[in-house]
Structure 1
Amino acid sequence: MSGGPELMTHHAYEEPDGHDDDVLDEDGKPVLTPEQRKKRRWKIIRRVGYGFVGVFLVLPAIAFVITYFLVDVPSPTEVAQNQSQAVTYLFADGSPMGKDVPRGGNRVLLTPEQIPDVMKHAAIATEDDSFETNSGFDVGGLLRAVYNQATGGTGGGSTISQQYIKKATDNDAPTLTRKWTELAKSFKMNQTYEKKDIITAYLNIIYFGRGAYGVGAASQAFFHKEAKDLSFSEAALLAGLIQQPGRSENPKVAQDRWNTALDRMVKNNYISAADRAAAQFPTPIPLEDSKQQAGAPPAFVVQQVKDELAAHDIPEDRYYSGGFVVQTTIDPKAQQAAEQAATDAMKNQVDDNLLNALVAVDPKTGGVLAYYGGKPIVQVNGQDQAGRDWADTPQNPGSSMKPFDLTAFLKMGKGLDAKFDGSNNRTFDGRVVRNAGPGSSCSQQCTVSEAMMRSANTVFYDMVLNQTKQGPVKDAAREAGVKTKNDDGGQSIISTKDNNISLGGGETQITPLDMASAYATFAANGQQRARHFVQKVTNGQSEVAYEASTDAKSAFDSDADKSRQIAGNVTEALKPVIDFSKLKCPNGHECAGKTGTQQHTKVAGEPAWAANANSQTWMVGYTPSVSVAAWVGGDGNKPLHGKNNSPIYGSTIAGPMWQKFLSLYLTGKPGEKFDKVDRIGGEVPPPPSSDVATTTDATPTDENQGDGDNNGNGNGNGNDGDQGGNHGNPSSSPTTTPKHTKTPTKTDTPTKTDEPGN
């Protein structure tokens, strides 16, 4: 009896792996035979395999089944209740501005029979060519998406069912939990509904652009027809736009997406190659085919808000689906003042080509206080069409560019007391640069301060060409807040390829919105704040979805005090311009600013008066609490005129429009003065007043109003630095110097070492 257990124990310990414990290696471990080692390796492999199957297949399968039974698939009716919601707009003070209601808000859910096969086929070919056979998700597509994400490629792996779930739940969070439940819901949808019902549900909720959710609304918004009447070409355009609905109004994008959809329809045998070859692009109806709804916020403000929100994770396809309340930065008093000033400026004008815009920005926050971009609805051939937003359209800034010249000059450590030759008809490497007529020239030792007041072209052309160079001027404008194309994602263009940048001509074009924002940085003592139209956005649950930052950064130098000093010196140079241009600042307030004019380039067939006409005019100025850009000009190079075909200037219409806005807006507000700063480069005498000079051309005439602009495109067409600027008598130049200067004995002109444009 006692031997049995001992024998079992002996076998258990002696040979658990079939080896002899008596044979040990030098470390005391049993020595295995080759057969024993092979068995042990396979045992390990089997155990790892069982673990892999359990962890990566069995457990996920169990979890997927559990998730499958826990989730629900939202119906199109439920989704529709959360889409196409009006967006409520508030003024800065919380008072109502209006509601932005989507065009497709009153849509109906179509049945499978009401959506033509060409529309279904176009969507399937473009978005999910395995739709007819997949079970809600496409393994190959998922693997491609993972590969693209890992390698930085483009393209996702979402099926139509997954896209439906994503839009239905309004959840696009890049999390594994969201993707997991999306897969379960997509699979469940395909087990619950027929394919014809799934594609119908998808086409009833997907966003196409133009505020249109669902193909029923989209067919009306783009083609003014019922969905059942869509042609295969129209269906291809709508299907193509599903990927980029926010760019539906971009002709190139629309054309490219249409071509992509048609090519995929051919590949999937939905249309023939002959149909593809014969297809004509279906031009959509005009964007605004009906007047703006009563009680709606200003159309151009709405578009700016949409653009801003799209840049902060609220794209257009979410804009109408969140029940959002947008509290803007628009001040109701300022907006009313802007609209009144802009409207009154156009009264009694005889030139039908005149257009105008006005933008006001708060220097202390960067918030846009008022925004007038022209009429949102215009008549074209008797039809109402969307107007162009002229406040966000770049134009030649003319002499309103000169403060950026000065900023670059001050950043070099040079000051307002530096002297240049401000006389008329100066030659720079073969180019004759003229001042803009009576009152715009000064002595051969003209201080920068006086040159800014008189807007002496020869001084600033010389300053940029021979001292600052063009690049630093562009840098100064961008540092102040000008958002350029390519570099900053804006609309403005600042060209450094020639010296026309110094006078705001040539290819340099800046929007009124950018000018108001940039001058706000001068008003804010060199602190730049990102301009914005939105204070905050709350969703349907009163949760904050977005809130704008008002943080500031030093614009012109990393040292805040140095940036403050530079901005303060610019302000000191711009303060005398107001009186010199025969404009007035509201009582109790200090103002600074600059006029600007771009000369028209005369073309064959135009009347004689067009030779002296201008095409763009500006007045940009500020107080410590508001920066305002007023623009009056034409669409392109059009000769503009006042009564009796007289030319208009920055101080003719734009100046009074700017002045009226300030008068209306600042009424009742406490007076304000600019902060004092030390002069860069040493102390200088006070700038001259407009009645100091003894010559007859020292005080601006009604035609010139102190606006000395000499702009061009450098092509020798009569509108560049060597030809333009003859707003008054092109040959007039001062015969005596102002009283505060001595007659120079020599010309204090910087040495010219570079060709214009270098």
Structure 2
Amino acid sequence: MGRADERRARQRGGRRAAPKRRRSSQAGGKSRIRRLFTWKKILGTFLGLCLLGIGAFIVLYMMIDIPEGNADAKLQSNVYKYSDGSIMTRDGEVNREIVDLAKVPKKVQRSFVAAENKTFYQDSGIDLKGTARGVINTLSGKGAQGGSTITQQYVKNYYLSQEQTVSRKLQEMVISLKLDREKSKDYILAGYINTSYYGRGAYGIQAAAQAYYRIDAEDLNVAQGAYLAALLQAPSQYDWATASDTGKKLVQQRWNYVLDNMVEMGWLDQGERASLKFPVPKDPKPSAGLGGQKGYLVEAANAQLARQLVAQGAAEDYKDALALVKRGGWTITLNIDKKKQATLENAVKEQLTSKLDPKERKVDANVQAGAVSVNPKTGAIVAMYGGVDYFKHYTNNATREDYQPASTFKPVILAAAVDEGAETQSGQPITANTIYDGTSERPVVDGGTKVGFAPENEDGANYGPITVQSAMNESVNSVFAQMGVDVGMKNVLKVAGDLGMDTEKLPAVPAQTLGSMGASPLQMAGVYATLDNHGKKVTPTLIKSVEHISRTVEMPKAVGEQVISREAADTVTSVLTGVVDDGTARRSVRDNPMRNGQKVAGKTGTSDNNKSAWFTGYTPDLVTSVGLFGEDAKTHAQTPLTGATGRLPGKGRVNGGGYPAQIWAAYTFGVQSKVSEFDLETDQGAAVEPPESATPSQTPTSQEPSETPTTEEPTEEPTTEEPTEEPTTQAPTQTPTTQPPTTSPPPSESATQEPEDPIDRFGDDDR
């Protein structure tokens, strides 16, 4: 017994204390548990875990960087608009168009904040409570549930995937914190509203505004913005067009919740709030797609934009530039006038395609039409017809360059003659009144030497002595073949290139005078637009303006410098009015009841073996080139148009003065109500009073010209094929047996009169 015990015993009267009882084993166990889980140990463990978690988070924060944006979240569509700003179509894998936040009205911006994250402008980018709840729910198998900030939702949409895992949630939190520190709130909000999914296949607020209200994001009002913000909670359930009664009730509640929050935050006046009515969205509209003419327009616009990107150094070559365009994000406004486009499409249908019957006539399946209409003062392409349907015939007939422009090239020869001040072989200036020998198959000569080229006139018609004006009216091949040599074929091709044709690699041979090179309606519209614009170069342009969130593209000017003299351009225009009023286009254009006195210049053309037929014509305000092309529906080889529609007289040729001119007239007179006149500075051609007498030129001839044009039909088809021998301007090795050039006799009275109407003579109205 110890001393303390003895002391206590003495104090109790000398009685010894009873021994203590041992605790039970159960009590001992509890005591050990208490000793193991003391509050100090629990607190220490908690603090240790917190420190461990903080340490782990610090490591994560240091290891995880803000990644590159998710490729799918970057995908955008390209948006194509008519000249008036209305949407034509979209093209791309994802219906998204990124818009700058500055274009979104402030109240609409704040409606998203009120709907999703009222503390957005004050928080650090994350909601710890909501994130913790999300992690716990994920671990327990309940899935992620709410609580994310706008920053976190943007990070999930743009930088991460949609998978529901703890690691993804932790990444989201770390990236959100970093993003909030490195970027502005406006940057994050813009990213959020541009990447979110709104239903109806619309990604981003711009696509959503179009999908639900058919307006741009910049035109949304606060009520509409609140609806789009409400949609984000459940896009499918809240789409008014497909929602159940319950869904409609829920979205209205959500809409009210958003607006009430805006009032609470001081972003919306209570009076304005009370006046707002639920903005019922429009019904879904099918995607415009690329069917019909839209595909041709989109592809042509993409090509023009790609060429411009290469020109300004944004891409190394055309292939890379086109890939950049198709990556998306472009808003491209075209010069296409909606009314003119519809009228052109209708003109082709009424004048041509409605008359084709491939089941009745095999050739009808081979008829392709293309057309381009240009404003000559601005260069704007206001309408384009590429084919029957983009998904039925992918080649754009308006831009293809594989068919001969035929006699529509003849005005280029005359333009070169006047611009160069050229003379005939005998030294006479070439004017509208110069007389040439119009005998069919007359050999072309240069300095008294035959050059190995003797083109046939259509149907072998012989015109004898004929003025340049009449030769243009009747499209006399022999006259313009000789004129091309008189001017010099290098000069002719140079002027053709200056006017807009692709002549750089063409050989300077007389056969080119028949338009034997390839050309497109687009090119020919540009050539004639330059003539219409008094010789100032017009480069037809499809694109009016281009917008991209990260690029600036300036389109080049469509109207350039003077490439031929005004006198030359105006002389050709004056002469071409005769083609309409007294020549091969008179039936379809001059006599059209819709003309109403409108001044018109133009030229027809029919190529070798009737594989193409053209009419390119213009008024002072509008130039349109229409081409018809024979293309085998299966092999795509060039084939004759002869016999198409089964309604053609005579030999059944499809001539430029027929369907092409009819399409041109139906379109042009259908869109031009104001009658206008050409302002010409020339004293030549059909548009001015002719002089009392014309001085005949000393044109070399190989045979005595006939006194009057023959009216007999030839036994052979007309041809513009090049001669079997290579044309040459070299002097022959032997002295020619023909006599030196002599002066053509002055035309007799019968020869100078207008030839018989070719409608009566040949059963058609074109050369």
From 68, 75, 79, the counterpart of 1:75: 68
Separation in structure 2 between the aligned mates of residue 390 and residue 459 of structure 1, nearest angstrom? 30
Selected match of 2:721 from 712, 721, 736: 712
For the residue of structure 2 that corresponds to 1:347, the secondary structure is helix
**Structure 1 residues 598 and 363, CA gap change in structure 2 (3 angstroms):** same
Are 2:421 and 1:415 equivalent residues in the alignment?
Answer: no
Q: Verify the 8 A CA contact 1:441 1:454 in the aligned structure 2.
A: no
Is the Cα contact below 8 Å between 2:574 and 2:684 reproduced in 1?
no
Q: Which residue of 1 aligns with 2:22?
A: none
**Residue identity in the other structure for 2:588:** L
Instruction: Give the alignment partner of residue 496 of structure 1, picking from 491, 507, 511.
Output: 507
CA 1:341–1:697 in 2, change beyond 3 Å: closer, same or farther? farther
In the TM superposition, what are the counterparts of 1:231-242 in structure 2 within 5 Å? none
Q: Which residue of 1 aligns with 2:443?
A: 427
Cα gap change, 1:322 to 1:396, in 2 (>3 Å): closer
**Residue 472 of structure 1, aligned match among 491, 494, 511:** 491
Q: Give, in whole Å, the separation in 1 of the partners of 2:620 and 2:64.
A: 58
**Offset from partner CA, 1:60-80 (integer Å, 9 cap, x none):** xxxxxxxx9999653342x43
Tell me how far 1:296 sits from its aligned partner. 8.9
The aligned counterpart of 1:584 is 589
Identify which of 647, 650, 656 aligns with 1:650. Answer: 656
Aligned to 1:626: 622
CA distance in 1, matches of 2:579, 2:347: 21
CA distance in 2, matches of 1:687, 1:337: 43
Which whole-Å CA distance do the structure 1 matches of 2:388 and 2:689 have between them? 46
Equivalent pair of 2:572/2:685 in contact (CA under 8 Å): no
**Aligned with 1:420: secondary structure?**
strand
- Whole-angstrom distance in 2 between the partners of 1:103 and 1:477: 42
Deviation at 1:310, TM superposition (A): 1.2
In 1, Cα distance between the equivalents of 2:538 and 2:439? 38
* Structure 2 residue 566 is matched with structure 1 residue 564: yes
User: Aligned in 2, Cα 1:368/1:671: closer, same or farther, shift over 3 Å?
Assistant: same
Residue segments in structure 2 that go unaligned for 5+ positions in a row: 1-60, 97-157, 160-286, 315-320, 422-429, 445-449, 632-636, 694-706, 727-746, 755-767
Conserved 8 A contact 1:92-1:327: yes
Contact kept, 8 Å, 1:422 with 1:456, in 2: the verdict is yes
Q: Does the aligned pair in 2 maintain the 1:407–1:566 contact within 8 Å? A: yes
State the SS of the aligned residue for 2:340.
helix
Q: 1:70 to 1:679 in 2, by over 3 A?
A: farther
Q: Show CA shifts across 1:592-613 (max 9, x none).
A: 111111122xxxxxxxxxxxxx
**Distance in 2 between the 1:526 and 1:474 partners?**
16
Contact 1:443 1:738 in 2 (8 A): no
Residues 1:500 and 1:94: Cα distance change in structure 2 (over 3 Å): same
Q: TM-score, normalised by structure 1?
A: 0.51
Question: Partners of 1:629 and 1:709 in 2: how far apart?
Answer: 23
| Cα gap change, 1:699 to 1:516, in 2 (>3 Å) | farther
Q: Aligned partners of 1:617, 1:420: CA distance in 2, in Å?
A: 26
Whether the aligned pair in 2 keeps the contact of 1:98 and 1:295 (CA below 8 Å) is no
Aligned-pair distance for 1:628?
A: 0.8
Give the distance between the partners of 2:685 and 2:441, measured in 1 at CA. 28
Query: Which residue of 597, 606, 610 maps to 1:597?
Result: 606
**Alignment match of 2:539 (pick from 507, 527, 530):** 530
> Which residue does the alignment assign to 1:335?
341
Aligned to 1:402: 410
Find out whether 1:513 has 2:522 as its counterpart.
yes
8 Å CA contact 1:97–1:297 kept in 2: the answer is no
- Separation in 2 of the partners of 1:575 and 1:681? 8
Question: 1:443 corresponds to which residue?
Answer: 464
1:96 aligns with 2:87: yes
Deviations 1:157-200 (A, max 9, x none): xxxxxxxxxxx99xxxxxxxxxxxxxxxxxxxxxxxxxxxxxxx
Structure 2 residue identity aligned to 1:584: V
TM-aligned CA deviation for residue 332 of structure 1: 1.0
Letter in 2 for 1:372: Y
Q: Distance in 1 between matches of 2:518 and 2:534?
A: 25
Q: Distance in 2 between matches of 1:341 and 1:700?
A: 35
Deviation at 1:346, TM superposition (A): 2.1
Amino acid at match of 2:613: T
Larger Rg: 2
Counterpart amino acid of residue 493 in structure 2: K
Structure 1 letter corresponding to 2:639: K
1:427 deviates by: 2.7
Return closer, same or farther for 1:531/1:441 CA change in 2, 3 Å cut-off.
same
Check conservation: 1:590, 1:672, Cα contact below 8 A.
Answer: yes
How far does residue 303 in structure 1 lie from its aligned partner after superposition? 1.1
Aligned to 2:566, what secondary structure does the other structure show? helix
Pairs aligned (count) = 426
- Whether the aligned pair in 1 keeps the contact of 2:463 and 2:751 (CA below 8 Å) is no
Match of 2:397 among 366, 390, 393: 390
Please say if residues 433 and 457 of structure 1, whose CA atoms lie closer than 8 Å, have aligned partners that are also in contact. Answer: yes
Q: Note closer, same or farther for the CA distance 1:738–1:522 as it changes in structure 2 (3 Å cut).
A: farther
C-alpha distance in structure 2 between counterparts of 1:504 and 1:297, whole Å: 28
From the superposition, tell whether residues 410 and 632 of structure 1 become closer, same or farther in structure 2 (CA, over 3 Å): same
CA deviation string 1:439-482 (max 9, x = no partner):
x64332x22111111111111111112x1121111111111122
Paired amino acid for 1:355: Q
Output the CA distance in 2 between the equivalents of 1:470 and 1:661.
Answer: 35
Q: Which residue of 2 aligns with 1:22?
A: none
The 1:432–1:348 alpha-carbon spacing in structure 2 relative to 1, beyond 3 Å, is: same
Question: Any unmatched runs of 5+ in structure 1?
Answer: 1-67, 107-167, 170-290, 380-385, 488-493, 557-562, 601-613, 689-694, 718-735, 744-758
Looking at structure 2, the residues matched to 687 and 322 of structure 1 have their Cα atoms a distance apart, in angstroms, of 65
C-alpha separation between the residues in 1 aligned to 2:578 and 2:431?
17
- For 1:392 and 1:457, locate their aligned partners in 2 and report how far apart those are by CA, in whole Å: 26
Secondary structure at the aligned position of 1:583 is classed as: helix
Distance 2:323 2:406 in 1: 40
1:544 Cα shift?
5.5
State the alpha-carbon separation in 1 of the partners of residues 712 and 85 from structure 2: 45
Match of 1:372 in 2: 385
Alpha-carbon distance, 1:681 to partner? 11
- Which letter maps to 1:97? M
**Identical amino acids, percent of aligned pairs:** 25
Q: CA deviation at 1:627?
A: 0.9
In the other structure, the counterpart of 1:676 is: 680
Which deviations, in whole Å up to 9, do the C-alpha atoms of 1:532-586 show, x marking residues without a partner? 1111112248x86434424421011xxxxxx111100000111011132223252
Secondary structure of the residue aligned to 1:299 is helix
**Which one is further off, 511-520 or 644-653?**
644-653
Q: What amino acid maps onto 1:92 in structure 2? A: S
CA RMSD between the two structures: 4.1
Relative to 1, partners in 2 of residues 1:335 and 1:709: Cα closer, same or farther, differing over 3 Å? farther
Is the 8 Å Cα contact of residues 410 and 680 (structure 1) preserved in structure 2?
no
Tell me: CA distance 1:70–1:417, structure 2 relative to 1, closer, same or farther (3 Å). Answer: farther
Change (3 A) 1:87 1:576: same
User: In structure 2, what is the Cα distance between the partners aligned to 1:310 and 1:460?
Assistant: 38
| 1:458 matched residue in structure 2 | 478
Distance (whole Å) between structure 1 residues aligned to residue 601 and residue 334 of structure 2:
27
Equivalent residues of 2:293, 2:390 under 8 A apart: no
Residue of structure 2 in register with 1:481 after alignment: 500
User: Contact 2:613–2:656 at 8 Å: present in 1 too?
Assistant: yes
Aligned-partner Cα distance in 2 for 1:737–1:301: 53
Provide the rounded CA distance (Å) in 2 between the counterparts of 1:569 and 1:550.
23
